[in-house]
Every structure is written in C-alpha cells, then in structure tokens.
Amino acid sequence: MILTLSLGLLVLVQGAWSTIPPPQVSQTLPLLLEPSCNDSQVLSVAGLALEKINEDRKEGYILSLNRVADVKEHHQEGSGSMYYLTLDVLETTCHVLSKKHWKDCKIRQLHYSVYGQCKAIFYVNLPRRILHLPAYNCTVRPVSRIHIFRVCAVCSALIPKNISDTWIFQTVSEFLEKINEEIGVGKKFHLFKVTRFRIQWLLGPTYLMEFLVTESPCNKSLPDQCLQPPDDAQPVGICKATLRANLIKKYVPGMCEFFESQPTSAPESDPPEHQVPQQLASTAAPTLEGPKGSVQFLPDPPVGKIEDGQEKKPIVTFPAHVSLTTEPLGEVLHLPSHFLLERKELPIVLPFPEGSRSNECPGPAAYAYSLILPP
Ligand SMILES: *[C@@H]1O[C@H](CO)[C@@H](O)[C@H](O)[C@H]1NC(C)=O
Ligand SMILES: *[C@@H]1O[C@H](CO)[C@@H](O)[C@H](O)[C@H]1NC(C)=O
Ligand SMILES: *[C@@H]1O[C@H](CO)[C@@H](O)[C@H](O)[C@H]1NC(C)=O
Ligand SMILES: *[C@@H]1O[C@H](CO)[C@@H](O)[C@H](O)[C@H]1NC(C)=O
C-alpha cells in the first residue's frame, strides 16, 4: 500500500516536472460548431487569420481572402474559440515585405491570377485580447494556362523562375542603372531576386518582370564609388519592369516601390483602427519564434493527355495540410509566454477536422470565377 502510494506520488512529481500538468482534455469528443461561412464574425476572424498569415511570411505576395471555404469552431471552456479555417485566397500584387494589409492590395488580373487555399488554426479570445495563429499552410497555383489560352491567346503566361537568359539580366541592369541615375542619390540599387516573370506576345515577345532590389551606399564625394551590397543585404523595394524589344530598340518602362520599413527593423505594432482588439502586448514581446507555416507554389498542372479524342482535364488539387496534434481528444496548446493566460485557461487544439464541410459553406466569393476557385 505504502509502495503504491509513493509510486503514485512519484508519478505526480514527474507529472509536475514535465512542462505542463496532464491537460484537462475532456473525455468525450469535443463539440465542433459549424457556423456559416457567410457569418459576419467568421468573415472577420478569417480576415484576421489571413492578416497573420501574411505577416508571418518572408517571401511571396500578399494573399487576399476570396471566400471562406469551410470553418469549424471549437468553443473553449472559459473564453475564446479555436477556429479551423479553410480559406480560398487570391494573390495580390503587393509583396509581403511591403507589410500592407491585404485589403489595401489589388488582386492580379484574371489571366495571370495565382489562386489557392490556406488551412489555418486560429485562436481567438477577445476577453483576453488574444489573436494567435499557431499554424497554417497554403498551396497556390497560377490560373490554368490552357484555359486562359482558349479565351485570350496573347495573354501572358507565367514562366518558371529559373531565368538564366543573360539578355534579361542585362536588361534588368539597364533598368536599374536608369533608376539609380534618377533616384539613387547616395546609394545604388541592385537586383536581389526575380520574383515573377511573364511573357506575353504583342508584335513580338514582351517580358514582364518583378524583382526585389537591395541597396548599397555610395561615397558622396566620389559618386561612382558604391560598395557592393553586403551578403546579408535585405530587399528594400520591389520593381516592375516591362521589357519590350525589337531588332533596333529596347524599351524598358517600369517603376519601383520601396518598402516603408525594412524587414530587419523592430517589430511594428498593429494599426489601431481594427475593430477587434489586437493581441496583448504584441508590441512589447519580440516574436522570436519561427514561421508558423508556409505557402507552397505549385506549377500550372500539365495539360491533360488526349484519350479517345477527349482531352483529359488535369486534376487541380490544393493539398494544404496543417496539424498540431493527432490526439483525437486534443492537446493543450502552448501559447507564447507574452499571452498572460493561466494554465487552466489554455486552449485545446484538435486535429484539423477533415471531411465534410459545414452546411453553409463555402461562403460567397469576392471574385466568383470558376477559373480561380479551388474545387
Ligand atoms: C536553372 O538554370 C541553370 C542554368 O541554365 C541550369 O543549369 C539549371 O539546371 C536550371 N535549374 C532548373 C531547376 O531547371
Ligand atoms: C570617399 O572617398 C574618399 C576619397 O577616396 C575617401 O577619402 C573617403 O574616406 C571616402 N569616404 C567613405 C565614406 O568611404
Ligand atoms: C505544413 O506543410 C509542410 C509540408 O507540406 C509540413 O511539413 C508541415 O508540417 C505543415 N505544417 C503544419 C503545422 O502542419
Ligand atoms: C451573405 O451575407 C450578406 C450580409 O449578411 C447577405 O447580403 C448575402 O446575401 C449573404 N450571401 C449568401 C450567399 O448567403
């Protein structure tokens, strides 16, 4: 008896030593609510989750919400809810480093849209002023080229990023030289990375490219003497240039947009105008954690094979997957320490609910073209 008691004590002590006491996970399968995908609260939660996704990213373009494809809500004991969101998204023309709000960015024109789906786990606790995105994953694709070609033969096609054509690099250099002459006072801009490259036929090839630039200082007394950008140089802006060439002349109109604050600067506070309170102490606590997810860019699906005289449609899928636990009854979610929640208030996270959609889902799309809506 004494032995079992002390064993029990030992187990208790060990339990206390592990990071968290045995979670108060309920013994029955938790009840998942299925709110409408057009519910105003759901739309606002989805918009905030997408804002956090964009904030978390270091590369690519800001994604905007096209529609809520599915939502499950797990109301937590005490206060707050864990949301399991499936969001249909559209790429905008703003780079994530611009740190703009997705609502302030334009989506790309239909013929070179990039669209896809994000899955996100999002914890919202308004009484405690917590909005926390522990995990997300997205998959995006360019709009099917074969479909675009049918409706618009000259419309541009995305070209894979591996551009080794020296002519194009030379033209980018010429463009940057012009930019440097015009605005590069005391500094010089250099190509950092090509982020998008398209080709379009208009009486010959027209290349449309977007690229990040970095900068290096120049010696004021000797303007020709500019340093090379350091190895860890960060992009300071994004330029868009159109390269149109015939045998005689080359035209390179374009423009650059410079990011307001550099990505290396102190973490910025959230703009105050949102109706829903922002996370507690978000300005005080540096975000030292790694990324919470990623956006995978998949290529245009290959053109279907012709079988029995019928073109087989390529199967377009958006295999985004997030999972923080495989435990059917869920696990306690460890929040960053700056969220001052007591242990018993910590939320439970479940495996991402797959399977049937909620009844009133998907919600209405902002842009309801089948070409840019995931199935
Ligand atoms: C990218 O281009 C380089 C130079 O032409 C080539 O060696 C390399 O194999 C290409 N990579 C891919 C993934 O196509
Ligand atoms: C600029 O160049 C001059 C002449 O070479 C040199 O004396 C000076 O130290 C340089 N200044 C900087 C900031 O590099
Ligand atoms: C996101 O997707 C990647 C690869 O597809 C996977 O390794 C990762 O675990 C996923 N993230 C989460 C939180 O599930
Ligand atoms: C979505 O909600 C808005 C306003 O609440 C309403 O006007 C609209 O008809 C709804 N759309 C659908 C498809 O239910």
In angstroms, the CA 186 to CA 220 distance is 6
**Cβ neighbours of residue 58 under 8 Å, at least 6 residues apart?**
96, 97, 263, 291
**Ligand 4 pocket member 364 (CB < 6 A):** yes
- 240 within a domain of the structure (yes/no): yes
252 and 304 fall within a common domain: no
Residue nearest atom 4 in ligand 1 by C-alpha distance: 164
- One domain for residues 249 and 207: yes
Element (H, E) at 42: helix 40-56
Angle at 168 between CA 166 and CA 169, to 5 degrees: 65
Quote the domain boundaries for residue 176. 161-258
* Atom 13, ligand 4: residue with shortest CA distance: 364
For residue 352, which atom of ligand 3 is closest to its CA?
Answer: 14
The count of domains in the chain is 2
Q: Tell me, what's the pLDDT at 45?
A: 97
**By alpha-carbon position, which residue is closest to atom 13 of ligand 2?**
219
H or E element, residue 95: strand 81-95
- Look at residue 306 in the predicted model and tell me its pLDDT: 53
Q: Which of 233, 258, 283 is the last residue of a domain?
A: 258
Contacts with 308 (C-beta within 8 Å, 6 or more apart), sequence order: none
Please indicate, yes or no, whether residues 132 and 184 belong to a single structural domain of this protein. no
Q: State the pLDDT at residue 274.
A: 37
Distance CA 55, CA 87 (A): 16
Q: What ligand is nearest to the CA atom of residue 293?
A: 3
The answer to pTM > 0.85 is: no
Whether a cis peptide bond, with omega within 30° of 0, leads into 362 is: yes
Residue 243 belongs to a domain with what CATH number? 3.10.450.10
Burial of residue 178 (CB within 10 Å: 0-12, 13-18, 19+) is middle
33 domain-assigned: no
Distance 215 CA to ligand 2 centre (A): 18
Taking the centre of ligand 4 as the mean of its atom positions, its distance from the CA of residue 364, in whole angstroms, is 7
181: left (phi over 0), alpha (psi -120 to 50) or beta: alpha
123/186 same-domain check: no
User: Are residues 135 and 186 both part of a single domain?
Assistant: no
DSSP 266-328: PPPPPPTT-SSPPPTTTTTS---S--SEEEEEPPPPPPPPEETTEEPPPPP-------S---T
- At 278 the pLDDT is 38
Per-residue pLDDT tens, the chain, 375 aa: give them. Answer: 444 434 333 333 333 344 444 455 556 777 899 999 999 999 999 999 999 999 999 999 999 999 999 999 999 988 899 999 999 999 999 999 999 999 999 999 888 899 999 999 999 999 989 999 999 999 999 988 777 777 776 666 655 545 556 767 777 888 888 888 887 778 889 999 888 888 777 666 777 889 999 998 887 777 677 888 888 889 999 998 887 766 555 666 778 999 986 444 333 334 333 333 333 333 333 445 678 999 999 887 666 555 565 556 667 889 889 999 999 899 999 888 888 888 888 999 999 998 888 889 999 999 999 889 998
Residues 267 and 147 in one domain: yes
Residues 6+ positions from 57 with CB-CB distance below 8 Å:
96, 291, 294, 295
Contacts of 190 by beta carbon, 8 Å cutoff, 6+ apart = 176, 213, 214, 215, 216, 228, 229, 233
Strands 130-142 and 293-297: parallel
Which atom number of ligand 4 is nearest to the Cα of residue 360? Answer: 14
Residue 12 in domain: no
- Domain assignment present for 20: no
Is the same domain home to 132 and 185?
no
Domain-ending residue, one of 258, 293, 308: 258
Centre of ligand 4 to C-alpha 37, Å, is 10
Residues 147 and 44 in one domain: yes
Q: Which ligand is nearest to the CA of 224?
A: 2
Q: Which of 235, 258, 281 is the last residue of a domain?
A: 258
The predicted pLDDT at position 296 comes to: 95
- Report if residue 65 sits inside a domain: yes
Q: What DSSP element (H or E) covers 238?
A: strand 237-245
Whether 60 is covered by a domain: the verdict is: yes
DSSP state of 366: S
User: Is 147 in the same domain as 267?
Assistant: yes
Per the CB < 8 A criterion, the answer to whether 155 and 149 are in contact is yes
Residues 6 or more apart whose Cβ sits within 8 Å of residue 222? none
Asked whether residue 250 falls in the same domain as residue 269, the answer is no
Nearest CA residue ID for atom 14, ligand 4: 38
Query: 10 Å Cβ neighbour count for 248?
Result: 5
196 CA to centre of own chain = 16
Distance 38 CA to ligand 4 centre (A): 6
In a domain, residue 25? The reply is no
* Same domain membership, residue 140 and residue 267: yes
The count of C-alpha atoms lying within 13 angstroms of the C-alpha of 75, restricted to the half-sphere facing its C-beta, is 5
Does 304 lie in the same domain as 287? yes
CB of residue 326 inside a 6 A radius of ligand 1: no
Contact 64, 50 (CB under 8 A): yes
CA–centroid distance, 230 to ligand 2, in Å, is 18
Given a contact cutoff of 8 angstroms between Cβ atoms, the answer to whether 260 and 271 are in contact is no
38 lines ligand 4 (CB under 6 A): yes
The rounded Å distance from CA 330 to ligand 1 centre is: 45
Look at residue 137 and tell me if it is in a domain.
Answer: yes
